[in-house]
Structure 1
Amino acid sequence: MVNLFLQFAGGLFYLLNKVFFAMAERTKGHRNQQTWRMAAWMFYLIGVPFWVFIFISEHNWIAAAVETSGVPAILMGYIIVWRGNGTLGLCRGLNYFAQCMIVTGLCLSLYDFGGLITLNQVMEIGIASGFLFGTYFLAKSKSAGYIWLSVGNACAALLMMWQEYYVLMGQQIISILLVSDAYRIHNRRN
């Protein structure tokens, strides 16, 4: 029962994040876009603990560690939307920390396992790369973030399928569609 709750909660918050990013891309007016983006980042942050708990329960250590280390990029995204596109003060520190965590998380995962030795590891690194690079680029309002999120979503869908978390697998597939839509709209507008 707890497992099902975690799947629905984690899936719901991450899915709402994607819905709100898509709404932000479709909305006209800075104030409306800001509202949707702030909601997107907030729901992303709320969903992190549910996913981390699931990853830890399945011994997906790489994905759990890197998912957690993506929180600075999420906070950076929220602050940038809230304050505007400036990167002064706290955002500069979060920007640097997020960059360091991207490199550190991927290097530690390769070191911890002595390289890539299992298919689950490859999927976890795909999740990690997609999540970290995706949140980092989206925090800077770059459309490349949507591509990276799609990579992470696809890898997460496969891993969740293999580990029989079918609710989360379905959520990841829906997320790919929403992220693709947001990417298309973002590029059309810019």
Structure 2
Amino acid sequence: MADTLLQIWGGLFYLLNKICFSKVERASGTAKQNGWRVRSWIVYLTGLPAWVFIFVSERDWIAAAIESGGAPAMISGLILAARGDGTEPKWLNMLAKFSIFAGLGLSIHEYGGITNISQFLELGIASGFLIGTYLMARNSQHGYPWLMLGNISCAALMGLEGYFILMGQQLVSLVFVVDAYVVRIKSNLTNRVSDGL
């Protein structure tokens, strides 16, 4: 029962985050976009504890460290969205980088190297979500392909470990990430064409 509740908690809020990212790309005006960005980071942070607990309980150390290490990038995104622009504290980036190495070190120690499929999937999660979240915090469209890698890797890992609610949530989230990316690319192309005329 607790596993199901954690899956619903983590899955629901991470899905809401991706829906909010999609709404950012469809919103008109900077104020509305920033409003959706603030919401996206708040719901992302709300779902974080459930994901970390699940990853730790499965001894998915890389993913657990990356998720907790992603919190500084999420907080950066929230700060930047709330301010409208600017810079975030440097210690947040340092904490995120430390978490990457700590998670990788724990996983290598636990398994005696990178030896199984779950660790490779965790590396996909790590690179996808950490780089994607970092780039999204800076409002870069290049964060979307990284988030796609994270969604696909996480869906596969959750399926292997029997967390089918989270697997489904990751696949549904992928749809919203792809949608947001396509909308952003179309918007950028439209802006380039109108700027060139």
The TM-score, its normalising length taken from structure 2, stands at 0.88
Q: CA 1:109–1:123 in structure 2 vs 1: closer, same or farther (change >3 Å)? A: farther
Kept in 1, the 8 Å contact 2:24–2:33? The answer is: yes
SS of structure 1 residue aligned to 2:59: coil
Q: Distance in 2 between matches of 1:130 and 1:137?
A: 10
Query: Cα distance, 1:106 vs. partner?
Result: 6.5
Kept in 1, the 8 Å contact 2:62–2:104? The answer is: no
Task: Tell me the percent identity.
Answer: 45
Query: Cα distance, 1:102 vs. partner?
Result: 6.8
1:83-119 Cα shifts (integer Å, max 9, x gaps) = 12211xx434434543x34753575357434432100
Q: Distance in 2 between matches of 1:14 and 1:149?
A: 12
Kept in 2, the 8 Å contact 1:124–1:156? The answer is: yes
Q: Distance in 2 between matches of 1:95 and 1:61?
A: 20
Q: Does 1:64 align with 2:61?
A: no
Give the match for residue 189 of structure 1.
Answer: 187
1:43-77 Cα shifts (integer Å, max 9, x gaps) = 10111100011111111111111110110000000
Q: Does 1:28 align with 2:28?
A: yes
Kept in 1, the 8 Å contact 2:128–2:147? The answer is: yes
The correspondence for 2:105, drawn from 98, 105, 108, is 108
Q: Distance in 2 between matches of 1:187 and 1:101?
A: 33
1:131-166 Cα shifts (integer Å, max 9, x gaps) = 110110001111111111110110110011111111
Q: 5+ unaligned residues in a row in structure 2: which ranges?
A: 189-197
Give the match for residue 162 of structure 1.
Answer: 160
Q: Distance in 2 between matches of 1:64 and 1:147?
A: 21
Q: Distance in 1 between matches of 2:151 and 2:107?
A: 21
The correspondence for 2:143, drawn from 133, 137, 145, is 145
Query: Cα distance, 1:8 vs. partner?
Result: 0.6
Q: CA 1:105–1:145 in structure 2 vs 1: closer, same or farther (change >3 Å)? A: farther
Q: Does 1:3 align with 2:7?
A: no
Q: Distance in 2 between matches of 1:156 and 1:186?
A: 24
- Equivalenced residue count is 187
Query: Cα distance, 1:128 vs. partner?
Result: 1.1
Q: Distance in 1 between matches of 2:43 and 2:147?
A: 15
Query: Cα distance, 1:78 vs. partner?
Result: 0.5
Kept in 1, the 8 Å contact 2:121–2:153? The answer is: yes
Q: Distance in 2 between matches of 1:111 and 1:8?
A: 30
The TM-score, its normalising length taken from structure 1, stands at 0.91
Kept in 2, the 8 Å contact 1:79–1:91? The answer is: no
Q: CA 1:24–1:79 in structure 2 vs 1: closer, same or farther (change >3 Å)? A: same
* 4+ residue runs over 4 A deviation: none
Question: Cα RMSD (Å) of the superposition?
Answer: 1.7
SS of structure 2 residue aligned to 1:70: helix
Q: Distance in 2 between matches of 1:109 and 1:139?
A: 27
Point out the structure with max Rg over C-alpha. Answer: 2
Q: Distance in 2 between matches of 1:102 and 1:72?
A: 10
Give the match for residue 13 of structure 1.
Answer: 13
